[in-house]
């Protein structure tokens, strides 16, 4: 039997090609396992990958998939921006002012541990099943996370650079832009990345409970019909979209923000 | 005596570090009365921890918690501060770091290329500071200070932790920049040779609540400052040491 050593392979191909190869192999392995299991179990509650793909194609051609994903993405975008803006402001304020931090710290912990579902239900009860209530619920779930992450950044701001900015009279706006924000950028980025995955999961729940369009609503509908292939089709489509956002938007931003590092 | 309008006048009656958790309040500086003539190069020396940096921070306006007053020649006097560490923004290139201290559209932006050339950083203008050696970062910090065309230039041991030839090169660079555009300099160091080489006037701080114990004019011509023997002799005269 002939054996090919990994080292020999590594020498022949560039690192990214090997990484890509492994990714494809692992993905193919997953699909094969899924297909085999579906074949053995032979139940309509576990459709194989091709059935799911067919369902996805059906929803795609009817335009429903694109519509519901677009609606959900819009909600993700709005609540993400709102949560980042408010959370970052709170984080910076608490990081800079010790007194405020001491007072509001327990509030933060309270909100961090408040179950997402409770916030969603309360928002719908208090503000009605409206778009604003939905966005608010998602944002409130995310704000404490952003605040805690950005607070760490604000605490570690360099006093040295602040003094430099003061002596050279950079002024408020230029200090913020050139001195403060670049120091906070890695913390924003960390909050954004964990934030995106959290926000889109919560948006689905919000849609399931109180909206009549969006991926979450569709999942609810197909759940009542026990149509597992459709549920998987929507889930898969959404995972793909979020991956594209990560690769096409977040990673290039991260590379740009970190380009000065050695 | 009528005050000369152009002098920088430093009066520090008392400067105390306030008490913190497990340490009592600590007097740092007291009874300092100092009149600095325009375009003089004043070196402050004294043992480490005596309060030299504190004095610079007070003049820079970074430390306002003291009894006394700082009077500049005119109210909008420009102050540049070259710190012990370069304090460049790591996320901005060398050129951006220098340009940042000038308001947008300021005519002094035109000085940047020439300054970069004088400090030998033309080729590194678009580099990020952390990719440069410490010596190069310090040269960038020098350029940032000079581009401001400051009325007062504060320098806090700017050449510390460099090897001798590099530090010497930077000293000569500083003398060159200063000769080209003389400005009032307050320079802190505990290196006595460096003090004699650079200063037109040397002040020695000493004591638990430090005050000026010696105020001496350096009697060297510009050419004598590069002469090792002459510098050493002057150092002996001022500090009574070898």
Section A173-185 average pLDDT? 93
CA angle B223, B224, B227 (to 5 degrees): 110
pLDDT at A165: 95
Confidence of residue B162 (pLDDT cuts 50, 70, 90): confident
| Arithmetic mean of pLDDT over chain B | 89
Residues in chain B closer than 8 A to A166 (CB atoms): 61-62
Which helix (H) or strand (E) covers residue B219, if one does?
none
The position carrying tokens 């990673």 is A251
pLDDT at A243: 86
The C-alpha atoms of residue B142 and residue A57 are separated, in whole angstroms, by: 65
Section B17-25 average pLDDT? 85
- Test A260 with B91 for CB contact under 8 angstroms: yes
Chain A residue with CA closest to B100: the answer is A170
**Around Cβ B48, how many Cβ atoms within 10 Å?**
8
The C-alpha atoms of residue B131 and residue B140 are separated, in whole angstroms, by: 13
For A43-54, what is each residue's pLDDT tens digit? Answer: 888 999 999 999
pLDDT at A247: 86
Distance from CA of A181 to the nearest CA of B (A): 11
pLDDT over 70 (residue A123): yes
State the best of B75, B89, B131, B137 to mutate against chain A, taking most chain A CBs within 10 Å: B89
ipTM score assigned to the predicted complex: 0.89
pLDDT over 90 (residue B225): no
Section B180-191 average pLDDT? 91
The answer to whether A229 and A51 have CB atoms below 8 angstroms apart is yes
Distance from CA of A186 to the nearest CA of B (A): 12
For B101-154, what is each residue's pLDDT tens digit? Answer: 999 999 999 999 999 998 899 999 999 999 999 999 999 999 999 999 999 999
A39 touches chain B (CB under 8 A): no
Confidence of residue A38 (pLDDT cuts 50, 70, 90): very high
A258 touches chain B (CB under 8 A): no
- Test A178 with B92 for CB contact under 8 angstroms: yes
The answer to whether B200 and B212 have CB atoms below 8 angstroms apart is no
Section B68-93 average pLDDT? 91
Please state the φ and ψ torsions of residue A78, each to the nearest 5 degrees.
-65, -50
For A183-214, what is each residue's pLDDT tens digit? Answer: 999 999 999 988 888 898 999 999 999 899 99
Distance from CA of B235 to the nearest CA of A (A): 33
Residues in chain A closer than 8 A to B62 (CB atoms): 163, 166-167
Confidence of residue A170 (pLDDT cuts 50, 70, 90): very high
Q: For chain A, give the percent of residues with pLDDT over 90.
A: 73
pLDDT over 50 (residue B4): no
B89 vs A163, A179, A259: nearest CB: A179
Closest CA to A180 of A210, A204, A159: A159
Confidence of residue A2 (pLDDT cuts 50, 70, 90): low
Residues 169-198 of A with CB under 8 A from B: 169-170, 174, 178-179, 182, 185
pLDDT at B61: 92
Using CB atoms within 10 Å of the CB of residue A116, give its burial: 0 to 12 exposed, 13 to 18 middle, 19+ buried.
middle
Chain A residue with CA closest to B56: the answer is A167
Joined tokens for residue A30? 């997953």
Confidence of residue A7 (pLDDT cuts 50, 70, 90): low
Q: What is the pTM of this model?
A: 0.79
> DSSP code of B15?
E
Partners of residue A34 on adjacent β-strands: none
- Test B87 with A260 for CB contact under 8 angstroms: no
pLDDT over 90 (residue A216): yes
Residues 125-164 of A with CB under 8 A from B: 160-161, 163-164
The answer to whether A257 and A187 have CB atoms below 8 angstroms apart is no
The C-alpha atoms of residue B86 and residue B89 are separated, in whole angstroms, by: 9
pLDDT at B2: 45
């Amino acid at each position: 039997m002939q054996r090919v050593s990994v080292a020999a392979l590594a020498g022949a191909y560039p690192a990214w090609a090997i990484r890509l190869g492994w990714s494809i192999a692992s993905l193919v392995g997953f699909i094969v396992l899924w297909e085999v299991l579906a074949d053995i179990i032979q139940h309509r509650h576990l459709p194989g990958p091709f059935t799911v793909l067919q369902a996805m194609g059906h929803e795609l051609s009817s335009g429903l998939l694109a519509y519901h994903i677009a609606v959900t993405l819009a909600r993700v975008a709005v609540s993400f921006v709102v949560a980042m803006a408010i959370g970052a402001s709170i984080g910076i304020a608490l990081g800079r002012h010790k007194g405020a931090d001491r007072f509001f710290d327990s509030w933060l912990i309270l909100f961090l541990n408040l179950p997402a579902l409770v916030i969603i239900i309360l928002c719908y009860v208090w503000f009605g099943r409206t778009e604003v209530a939905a966005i608010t619920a998602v944002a409130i779930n995310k704000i404490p996370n952003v605040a805690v992450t950005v607070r760490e950044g604000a605490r570690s701001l360099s006093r040295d650079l602040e003094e430099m900015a003061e002596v050279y009279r950079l002024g408020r706006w230029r200090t913020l832009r050139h001195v403060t924000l670049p120091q906070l950028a890695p913390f924003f980025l960390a909050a954004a990345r964990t934030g995106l995955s959290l926000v889109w999961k919560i948006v689905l729940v919000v849609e399931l409970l109180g909206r009549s369009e969006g991926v979450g609503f569709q999942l609810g509908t197909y759940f009542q019909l026990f149509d597992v292939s459709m549920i998987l089709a929507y889930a898969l489509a959404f995972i793909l979209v979020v991956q594209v956002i990560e690769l096409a938007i977040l990673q290039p931003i991260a590379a740009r923000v970190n380009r000065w590092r050695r | 005596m009528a005050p000369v309008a152009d002098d920088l006048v430093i009066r520090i009656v008392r400067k105390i570090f306030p008490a913190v958790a497990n340490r009592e309040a600590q007097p740092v500086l007291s009874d300092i009365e100092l009149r600095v003539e325009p375009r003089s190069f004043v070196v402050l020396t004294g043992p480490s921890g005596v309060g030299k940096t504190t004095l610079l921070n007070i003049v820079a306006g970074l430390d306002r918690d003291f009894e006394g007053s700082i009077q500049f020649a005119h109210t909008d006097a420009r102050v540049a501060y070259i710190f012990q560490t370069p304090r460049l923004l790591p996320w901005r290139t060398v050129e951006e770091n220098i340009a940042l201290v000038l308001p947008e559209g300021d005519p002094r932006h035109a000085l940047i290329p020439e300054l970069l050339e004088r400090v030998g950083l033309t080729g590194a203008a678009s580099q990020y500071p952390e990719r440069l050696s410490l010596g190069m970062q310090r040269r960038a910090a020098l350029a940032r200070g000079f581009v401001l065309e400051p009325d007062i230039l504060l320098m806090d041991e700017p050449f510390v932790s460099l090897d001798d030839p590099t530090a010497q090169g930077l000293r000569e660079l500083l003398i060159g920049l200063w000769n080209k555009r003389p400005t009032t300099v307050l320079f802190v160091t505990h290196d006595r040779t460096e003090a004699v080489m650079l200063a037109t006037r040397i002040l020695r701080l000493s004591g638990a609540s430090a005050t000026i114990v010696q105020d001496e004019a350096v009697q060297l011509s510009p050419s004598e400052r590069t002469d090792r023997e002459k510098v050493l002799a002057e150092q002996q005269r001022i500090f009574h040491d070898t």
